Structure 1
Amino acid sequence: MSAPYAIPRSHADWRAMAESQSFETRAFIDDAFVDAASGETFETINPATGKVLARVASCDAADAEVAVHHARAAFDRGDWSRIAPGRRKKLLLRLADLMETHKHELALLDTLDMGKPVSSSLGDMAGAIACLRYNAESIDKVYGEVAPTGEDSLGLVLREPLGVVASIVPWNFPLMMTAWKIAPALAAGNSVILKPSEKSPLSALRLAQLAKEAGLPQGVFQVLPGFGHTVGKALALSMDVNCLAFTGSTAVGKQLMQYAGQSNLKRVYLECGGKSPNIVFADCKDLDAVAENAAAAIFHNQGEVCIAGSRLLVENAIREDFIERVLKAAEGMQPGDPLNPDSFMGAIVDQTQYQRILGYIRQGVEEGAHLRSGGESVETCPGGLFISPTIFDNVTPEMVIGREEVFGPVLSVFGFDTEEEAIRMANDSLYGLAAGLWSQDIDRIMRVTRRLESGQVYVNNWAGGDMTVPFGGVKQSGNGRDKSMHSLQEYSELKTVWMSLTS
């Protein structure tokens, strides 16, 4: 299949494509694009320019009720939930192929909507497509079990789809996080209702068009744009939603668990906040490469990353030298026009997040942390929301910038003298999503990785991995897992069948 547009390669190409881009703005319910029942809409704004991109349907409880009804009807109808896994596989692979064909368009939508560099968005598209294909290829390779019994009985353990799954996804990686949620849920045979963030709904609505084109049955996949306190809350409280999958803040995750308890005890899978430690020991042999990775770990995607390496723990023997190397690396990561493929950082998603980040920076200065670089807004594009890479040294554990998730390009540097001190500082957090460890000592690596309270540990890299390994956190970073076969299994129910074989 060839792309229906000239493939953009240069800054000028992306600008031209952006100027001609059209948007689907209606909700996708029961195989049709419709306005919200209330007729209400909300603005989605390009944070790089401050200009309104479109007015999008603002769904609420009434729309959620209709969508859940159709999702349940589709599940009960069985033309998705009860068909052979190989048939679901074929349709999901067709959807992945359509995403591949339209990957530049999908990447552009995420860049326009939330301000990330288009090169980063293209990387997200590759991840989203890989996720669809992995789950599609996996589903016809999931087997049940035969229990060990005597000759007079037969025990079977079957896997069946849950029913209706509501997926609530964040704005920082709009389509990639969408794929992580919906791909395993759809592959397992569930009906899925997607609630994209109100800050980045456009790629989800385009995905709905592609899902329809791919041939997913009516009601199996629906998209409800809107706000968390309206349509998101309604989905979480619904008595006919069997599972809620969420990526976002810890505070909202806790609220969703309460809604599940107030309704039908639906399963709730949460991937929440993080304040990830990145530990650098003095025995690293290439400090320039480590410093480049440490800077990228916090400044990638403007620091709007749940696993951002926002706490840099450096052995004091190399601390000042290493900070200088990080400062140098950060010089090449200044924010640029998101439509420029050479930009490393883009715009902050909206005015609320922009002011929140600047507030944390001011608080860091007031608390006595040493501001080594950045800490200010920059006018990269007229009307845009851009903040320079910000590095604080002499941060102490009790400081707010050292404990709370800033979700922006703000790095807090701590020093340590011993391995035990580094472990204690790394684990001194209510979060446990990710951790990094840089060392050439294999004995130390094995000791420290086992003691870090984290869902994933990156050794001599940051954010490594692919679809074969699970992604998720411990403590108040959540309880579920995205990616890998572990994610696929979370969207199915175990059923035990015990047969008596005596006559």
Structure 2
Amino acid sequence: MAGHAPSGPHRLRNFVAGEFVDGATTFAKASPVTGEQVFEVDEASESTVDDAVVAARAALRGPWGRMGERERAEVLRRVADELERRFDDLVTAEVADTGKSIAQARTLDIPRGAANFRAFAEIVATAPTESFTTVTPTGGRALNYALRKPVGVVAVIVPWNLPLLLLTWKVAPALACGNAVVVKPSEETPASATLLAEVMAAAGVPAGVFNLVHGFGPGSAGEHLTRHP
């Protein structure tokens, strides 16, 4: 179902072009505390990664690519609001993934993740554009100025130790600057990234701006992303 996580316990799917999609195979994610399986994760195939990149490129040609800095900043503020609304769900996901204490997740990971989106929203909405004049060889004066443009589709690969916090440190500035992203969380910590996909949809982020692929490194989603043209 577009924009919402599918029903069923403990199933984490890929998120491409605004919809949750299955993988060709699945793998088990175990609790680092008990060793018991807590999630079944859909592993993205190479074609799923391709689809995610295609969706991201399409988003850059669509409404997202035509948004100005202040409009994008408002979208990021809505993401921060939705992260706070899903606070308890994100705490549960972080604890299940990492085995860290509830207190740490509640006081560091989730609040800082939301704060990152607000911080980069403010930065991009207020960042000045450099300009200066120079004297030309003929004695005239030339105005030099800088224009900032998105780089395009950004692959975001995140480690396991602070899965949501480090994810927001990468995704928030990339989106603030007008890029689209394809995210691959660590196979050890896939849950909060999947929840972030739900958050993006609920906050009205256009389809294809945020894509999520699960998997491993060599021969899996990580390699498919890092080798992708």
Task: Give CA-to-partner distance per residue, 1:248-297, whole Å, 9 cap, x none.
Answer: xxxxxxxxxxxxxxxxxxxxxxxxxxxxxxxxxxxxxxxxxxxxxxxxxx
- Offset, 1:101: 1.4
- Offset, 1:24: 4.9
- Offset, 1:82: 3.0
More helix per residue = 2
Opposite residue 103 of structure 1, the aligned amino acid is F
- Offset, 1:69: 1.1
> 1:167 and 1:24 mapped to 2: Cα distance?
22
Opposite residue 67 of structure 2, the aligned amino acid is I
Q: Equivalent of 1:232, from 216, 222, 229? A: 222
Residue 105, structure 1, aligned to residue 95, structure 2: no
- Offset, 1:153: 2.9
Of structures 1 and 2, the one scoring higher in RCO (CA 8 A, sep 6+) is 2
8 Å CA contact 1:124–1:173 kept in 2: the answer is yes
Give secondary structure in 1 for the equivalent of 2:160.
Answer: coil
> 1:60 and 1:147 mapped to 2: Cα distance?
49
Residue 217, structure 1, aligned to residue 206, structure 2: yes
Q: Equivalent of 1:58, from 43, 64, 77? A: 43
- Offset, 1:193: 0.8
Q: Equivalent of 1:87, from 71, 74, 81? A: 71
Matches within 5 A, 1:29-68: 29-36=16-23, 39-68=24-53
Q: Which runs of 5+ in 2 are unaligned?
A: 1-7
Identity of aligned residues (%): 38
**Structure number with bigger Rg:** 1
Matches within 5 A, 1:369-448: none
Aligned residues between the structures: 216
Give secondary structure in 1 for the equivalent of 2:186.
Answer: coil
8 Å CA contact 1:195–1:226 kept in 2: the answer is yes
Dislocated runs of 4+, deviation >6 Å: none
Residue 190, structure 1, aligned to residue 179, structure 2: yes
- Offset, 1:143: 2.1
> 2:131 and 2:122 mapped to 1: Cα distance?
23
> 2:65 and 2:91 mapped to 1: Cα distance?
31
Give secondary structure in 2 for the equivalent of 1:228.
Answer: coil
- Offset, 1:136: 1.0
The 1:213–1:23 alpha-carbon spacing in structure 2 relative to 1, beyond 3 Å, is: farther
Give secondary structure in 2 for the equivalent of 1:165.
Answer: strand
8 Å CA contact 2:11–2:40 kept in 1: the answer is no
- Offset, 1:210: 0.9
Opposite residue 235 of structure 1, the aligned amino acid is L
Partner of 1:207: 196
- Offset, 1:232: 0.9
Q: Equivalent of 1:155, from 144, 165, 180? A: 144
Opposite residue 82 of structure 2, the aligned amino acid is L
Opposite residue 82 of structure 1, the aligned amino acid is R
8 Å CA contact 2:133–2:142 kept in 1: the answer is no
> 2:45 and 2:120 mapped to 1: Cα distance?
31
- Offset, 1:22: 4.7
Partner of 2:57: 72
Residue 144, structure 1, aligned to residue 129, structure 2: yes
- Offset, 1:108: 1.1
- Offset, 1:61: 1.7
Task: Give CA-to-partner distance per residue, 1:190-227, whole Å, 9 cap, x none.
Answer: 00111001111011011101100100011000111111
Q: Give the TM-score, by structure 1 length.
A: 0.42
Matches within 5 A, 1:284-295: none
- Offset, 1:75: 1.2
Partner of 2:3: none
> 1:181 and 1:128 mapped to 2: Cα distance?
11
Task: Give CA-to-partner distance per residue, 1:85-144, whole Å, 9 cap, x none.
Answer: 111111110110111111121011011112111111112111111111100111111222
- Offset, 1:29: 0.3
Q: Give the TM-score, by structure 2 length.
A: 0.90
8 Å CA contact 1:25–1:56 kept in 2: the answer is yes
